Amino acid sequence: MSLMRRLERGQSAEEAQRQNPAPERKDPTGDLPAGGSGNNQRPTSLRARRISQPPAGAARGGYMDLKTRVQNRLLAELDPTLDIKKDEVRRTIQELFDQILIEENTVLSRPERQRLFEQIVAEILGFGPLQPLLDDSSVTEIMVNGHKNVYVERNGKLHRTPIAFESDAHVMRIIDRIVAPLGRRVDEASPYVDARLPDGSRVNAVIPPISLVGPTLTIRMFSKDPITVEQLIEFGSLTTEAVIFLKACVEANLNVVISGGTGSGKTTLLNVLSSFVPSDQRIVTIENAAELQLRQEHVVTLETRPPNIEGKGEINAQQLVVNALRMRPDRIIVGEIRAGEALDMLQAMNTGHDGSMTTAHANSPRDTLARLETMTLMAGYDLPVRAIREQIASAIDLVVQVDRQRDGSRKVINITEVVGMEGDVITLTDIFQFEQSGFEEGKVIGQLRSTGLRPNFLDRIEDAGIHLPPSIFGVGQRPRY
């Protein structure tokens, strides 16, 4: 997208806001950009507009006015053929910005000037008020609930920020800027959308009339340096013993489901477990939004595709699982199972594609099995429940339950073996379990402990040439590392 087009989008929105209430506007959202038509609405007289401004008493109003004026003048004066990707754009903007301030005879302190400049650059080249949050590496999630409420998650805890958008129309403009380059759109006909920022961060946007609090935006920040197994141990999410056990399970080709609530750390743990896959194996990953960051060389990454505006062209996870089976995979890793792909995944696990891994939304290992059952039924075959349970029991070897604790930390709370069937019931055995001993100074105190039971699949681990000391399972001496 050229700089001109991007600026025009921004400018047409500013115009709409400034002319509000504009009787001829019918669009309830105010200003979804209309393909660069902003050019026609550009004010001919900046002076006339300045006169119509409220008195300079309202500091914020005055500041916004100055920002809009400088932005509009930049729009008028920047070379329209300039490509926004080029580095010199920032320098050009800086030069024009300095010049405009001199011409306007505006005196600003150095910090004010810097702030104004950064805000304008963020509007033109970045994602407006969100830009400083996107640049802040301590932020793991950004949540916008209408233009006045912006929350972030830091260290697993929610905080409200002082950041606000100028209006709901401003939020809409930023949403559009995120989704438009991906060929997506969000409007009354399709009022929610999933997208990804250029850096890989996962974005979901929902706008009115579905959202009653104005346009909302949720951004799961993509971490360039994904959490490592060492960090998981350091954070207290896992213990060394549990890691040794899980590594052995992955190397011995067991089928693993990681389950947990939303944002509980499922994908992060899947990424860590995937790193244990030996590098001589061919891995095919299937995700709705590619989040996994595997370090192995031989990885094929597949991503599902939502339907286009006419509702056509969807490629779902189920289709990709079926396709992956034809790709000679050693491992199939599905980012998250939600629906009918569960059946194909179970069938794959039961027909020689061992070592598969996935995640599922569920509150306990038992709940995971129930969710799998429901998902399998979603595949649309009229299978008897018992047959489904048998498939599940023989396919899944291990369920790893993660949980977001009330102190914001994420912990593995169960590592559970799926043993088999007893009558109509699938039997489960906890191998590790989190034992909470207290809650002190806002922190959950406890430890992931082995239950003393050895898994039935231990012989499969031994067959793979891996010997786990009995101490891993809490038998005899604890190992020294």
Ligand X SMILES: Nc1ncnc2c1ncn2[C@@H]1O[C@H](COP(=O)(O)OP(=O)(O)OP(=O)(O)O)[C@@H](O)[C@H]1O
List CB contacts of 223: < 8 A, sequence separation 6 or more. 140
* 119, 140, 255, 267: which one binds Mg ion (CB under 5 A): 267
Contact flag: residue 201 with ligand X (CB under 6 A): no
* 68, 71, 201, 237: which one binds ligand X (CB under 6 A): 237
Closest residue by Cα to residue 334 from 274, 279, 394, 374:
274
Matching residue, tokens 């793991």: 140
Interface pattern 148-177 for ligand X (x via CB under 6 A): --------x---------------------
206 versus 227: smaller Cβ distance to ligand X: 227
Question: What's the closest the beta carbon of residue 206 comes to ligand X, in angstroms?
Answer: 15
Pick what 227 binds: Mg ion, ligand X, none; C-beta below 5 to 8 Å, kind-dependent: ligand X
List CB contacts of 352: < 8 A, sequence separation 6 or more. none
CA 339 to chain centre: 19
* 68, 167, 264, 416: which one binds ligand X (CB under 6 A): 264
* DSSP secondary structure string for all residues of 165-213: -S-HHHHHHHHHHHHGGGT---SSSS-EEEEE-TT--EEEEE-TTT-BT
Contact flag: residue 232 with ligand X (CB under 6 A): yes
Contact flag: residue 92 with ligand X (CB under 6 A): no
CA distances from 427 to 159, 173, 175, 333, 418 (A): 42, 52, 47, 25, 6
122 versus 229: smaller Cβ distance to Mg ion: 229
Pick what 263 binds: ligand X, Mg ion, none; C-beta below 5 to 8 Å, kind-dependent: ligand X
Contact flag: residue 200 with ligand X (CB under 6 A): no
Give the pairing of strands 149-154 and 139-145. antiparallel
Contact flag: residue 410 with ligand X (CB under 6 A): yes
List CB contacts of 272: < 8 A, sequence separation 6 or more. 226, 227, 228, 229, 232
Phi-psi label, residue 255: left if phi above 0, alpha if psi -120 to 50, beta otherwise: beta
Contact flag: residue 267 with ligand X (CB under 6 A): yes
User: Which stretch in 41-49, 122-130, 164-172, 259-267 sits in contact with ligand X by CB under 6 A?
Assistant: 259-267
Contact flag: residue 235 with ligand X (CB under 6 A): yes
**In 10 A of CB 163, how many CB atoms?**
17
Contact flag: residue 140 with Mg ion (CB under 5 A): no
Contact flag: residue 365 with ligand X (CB under 6 A): no
Contact flag: residue 268 with Mg ion (CB under 5 A): no
Looking only at residues 204 through 223 of this chain, which bind ligand X when binding is defined by CB under 6 A? 220, 223
Contact flag: residue 17 with ligand X (CB under 6 A): no
Question: What's the closest the beta carbon of residue 154 comes to ligand X, in angstroms?
Answer: 10
Contact flag: residue 265 with ligand X (CB under 6 A): yes
DSSP 84: T
Interface pattern 42-81 for ligand X (x via CB under 6 A): ----------------------------------------
What gap in Å lies between CA 141 and CA 219, rounded to an integer?
6
Question: What's the closest the beta carbon of residue 115 comes to ligand X, in angstroms?
Answer: 28
Task: Take residue 113 and report the two structure tokens written for it.
Answer: 């000037």
Pick what 268 binds: ligand X, Mg ion, none; C-beta below 5 to 8 Å, kind-dependent: ligand X
69 versus 410: smaller Cβ distance to ligand X: 410
Contact flag: residue 274 with Mg ion (CB under 5 A): no
Task: Take residue 313 and report the two structure tokens written for it.
Answer: 């062209």
Closest residue by Cα to residue 38 from 229, 147, 173:
173
What gap in Å lies between CA 140 and CA 404, rounded to an integer?
14
User: Which stretch in 39-47, 59-67, 210-218, 259-267 sits in contact with Mg ion by CB under 5 A?
Assistant: 259-267
**CB 96, CB 74: distance < 8 Å:** yes
**CB 235, CB 214: distance < 8 Å:** no
Question: What's the closest the beta carbon of residue 223 comes to Mg ion, in angstroms?
Answer: 13
Interface residue list for ligand X (CB under 6 A): 140-141, 156, 220, 223, 227, 232, 235, 237, 260, 262-268, 410
Interface residue list for Mg ion (CB under 5 A): 266-267
